[in-house]
Amino acid sequence: MKLKEIEDDALHLPEEDRAELAKKLLLSLDSPSETEIAEDWLVEAKRRAKDLDEGIVQPVPADDVRRKAQALLR
């Protein structure tokens, strides 16, 4: 099937289906690979560790975070 045929078929879909197709196509262009995601998380973890080491931020105990999260969900 050629691109023009796919385009013509897609344009004749109901609006909701066209929107779903457009969403899937856009996500396929913007989705980082698992390697890129892992690299991004490593960069973020190093940044956060540096902030902690330099005293820029203070650690928050997990129990405090859990308690606050549960309070927000009530």
- What does the pLDDT look like over 62-73, one tens digit per residue? 999 999 999 999
Q: Region 3-15: what's the mean pLDDT?
A: 95
SS (H, E, C) the chain: CCHHHHHHHHHCCCHHHHHHHHHHHHHHHHCCCHHHHHHHHHHHHHHHHHHHHCCCCCCCCHHHHHHHHHHHHC
Domain residue ranges in the chain = 1-31, 33-74
Q: Region 12-36: what's the mean pLDDT?
A: 92
pLDDT per residue as tens digits for the range 26-49: 988 878 889 999 999 999 999 999
Q: Give me the pLDDT at residue 2, please.
A: 95
